[in-house]
């Protein structure tokens, strides 16, 4: 069943907060004295996907309200060339709806509630599928927050790299200083580099010699990897890039990676990690 939820992306604050506080939303963290050990910046993996439906307005808002300085989210291209926040190529897992994003326009996608009923029941219903342009407009109310926008390979394969990259850059180009385009697809990143001065992040399939050679040729601004793929006896490769590792949900592990030179830690449980006194040092206050 469809529904309409009006969202004013230009209004300050969380679009989903008009009806009251988010269920279970984390409070603001307190700053603690600085230490000599490095402390990483935390990145909300699909927002806070541990306590909220992934890539949803509640997940994004909770992460920002908790003090996130970075958000990461996935985007897919709709049939009409617009982009929505969605990890999979269909809505089966997040909305119990088998329809493909490639068969629907953005209006139809937004009428689908991505409240993850299998995980949360009806707790977050309705959770309309976010449009990328609305999310970026909302983030303009938080000038210290940056976004990592991951274009999914399914869209690149379905519509073609040139079509998708051109359309996506049209949405992101006015916010180049606030956004990083990330992907597993190195060729899509090369296309983006030719068109606009946008920071790029390459997500590694593996942590091996071949991927290192490709990284050295691509020279992205960020290298992104699943932390479990890096052997305990190896260090992240040095280079003219910053490292981001995912999905890390243990504060001690996040701090340990920071000591090994990793500057950004992506976590699906960012609200909880930002309550840790050491990690809270680098929280963004968003004007509070």
Distance of CA 74 to the CA centre of its chain: 6
Residue 9 lies in a domain: no
Mean pLDDT value across residues 257-261: 97
Query: What are the structure tokens assigned to 174, written together?
Result: 């006015």
pLDDT tens sequence across 57-72:
999 999 999 999 999 9
Confidence class for position 36, pLDDT limits 50, 70, 90: confident
Question: Distance (Å, rounded) from C-alpha 217 to C-alpha 265?
Answer: 24
Confidence class for position 9, pLDDT limits 50, 70, 90: very low
Mean pLDDT value across residues 17-45: 61
- Of residues 173, 178, 83, the one with CA closest to residue 131: 83
Could you tell me the sign of the dihedral formed by the alpha carbons of 198, 204, 205, 210, in that order? positive
The reported pLDDT for the residue numbered 15 is: 63
The reported pLDDT for the residue numbered 285 is: 80
- Of residues 242, 197, 191, 244, the one with CA closest to residue 72: 244
Residue 117 lies in a domain: no
- Of residues 185, 232, 238, the one with CA closest to residue 212: 238
Number of domain units in the chain: 1
Please say whether the beta carbons of 75 and 44 come within 8 A. Answer: no
The reported pLDDT for the residue numbered 252 is: 98
Question: Distance (Å, rounded) from C-alpha 44 to C-alpha 26?
Answer: 13
Phi, psi (5° rounding) for residue 68?
A: -65, 135
Residue 57 lies in a domain: yes
Residue 62 lies in a domain: yes
The reported pLDDT for the residue numbered 35 is: 57
pLDDT tens sequence across 127-157:
999 999 999 999 999 999 999 999 999 999 9
pLDDT tens sequence across 112-130:
999 999 999 999 999 999 9
pLDDT tens sequence across 155-181:
999 999 999 999 999 999 888 889 999
Counting beta carbons within 10 angstroms of the beta carbon of residue 13, is it exposed (0 to 12), middle (13 to 18) or buried (19 or more)? Answer: middle
| CATH code of 239's domain | 3.20.20.190
pLDDT tens sequence across 79-107:
999 999 999 999 999 999 999 999 999 99
Domain of 139, in residue numbers: 36-90+130-282
The reported pLDDT for the residue numbered 228 is: 98
Residue 214 lies in a domain: yes
* pLDDT above 90: residue 188: yes
Residue 191 lies in a domain: yes
The reported pLDDT for the residue numbered 286 is: 60
* pLDDT above 50: residue 24: no
Arithmetic mean of pLDDT over the chain: 90
Residue 269 lies in a domain: yes
* pLDDT above 60: residue 52: yes
Residue 226 lies in a domain: yes
Question: Distance (Å, rounded) from C-alpha 13 to C-alpha 199?
Answer: 26
Question: Distance (Å, rounded) from C-alpha 141 to C-alpha 120?
Answer: 29
pLDDT tens sequence across 191-222:
999 987 899 999 999 999 999 999 999 999 99
């Amino acid at each position: 069943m469809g529904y309409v939820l009006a969202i004013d992306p230009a209004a300050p604050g969380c679009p989903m907060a008009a009806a009251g506080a988010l269920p279970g939303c984390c409070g603001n963290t307190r700053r603690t004295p600085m230490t000599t050990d490095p402390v990483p910046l935390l990145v909300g993996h699909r927002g806070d996907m541990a306590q909220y439906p992934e890539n949803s307005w509640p997940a994004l808002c909770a992460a920002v309200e908790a003090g996130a300085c970075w958000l990461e989210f996935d985007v897919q291209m709709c049939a009409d060339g617009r982009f929505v926040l969605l990890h999979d190529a269909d809505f089966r897992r997040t909305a119990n709806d088998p329809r493909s994003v490639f068969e629907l326009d953005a209006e139809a996608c937004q009428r689908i509630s991505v409240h993850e009923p299998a995980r949360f029941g009806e707790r977050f219903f309705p959770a309309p599928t976010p449009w990328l342009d609305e999310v970026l407009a909302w983030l303009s109310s938080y000038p210290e927050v940056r976004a990592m926008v991951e274009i999914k390979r399914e869209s690149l394969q379905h519509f073609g790299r040139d079509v998708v990259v051109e359309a996506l850059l049209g949405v992101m180009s006015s916010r180049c200083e606030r956004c990083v385009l990330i992907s597993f697809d190195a060729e899509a990143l090369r296309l983006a580099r030719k068109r606009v001065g946008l920071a790029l992040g390459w997500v590694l399939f593996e942590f091996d010699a071949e991927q290192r050679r490709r990284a050295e040729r691509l020279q992205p601004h960020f290298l992104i990897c699943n932390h479990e793929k890096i052997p305990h006896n190896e260090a992240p490769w040095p280079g003219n890039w910053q490292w981001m590792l995912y999905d890390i949900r243990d504060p001690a592990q996040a701090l340990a990676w920071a000591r090994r030179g990793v500057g950004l830690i992506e976590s699906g449980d960012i609200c909880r990690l930002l309550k840790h006194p050491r990690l809270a040092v680098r929280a963004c206050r968003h004007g509070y």
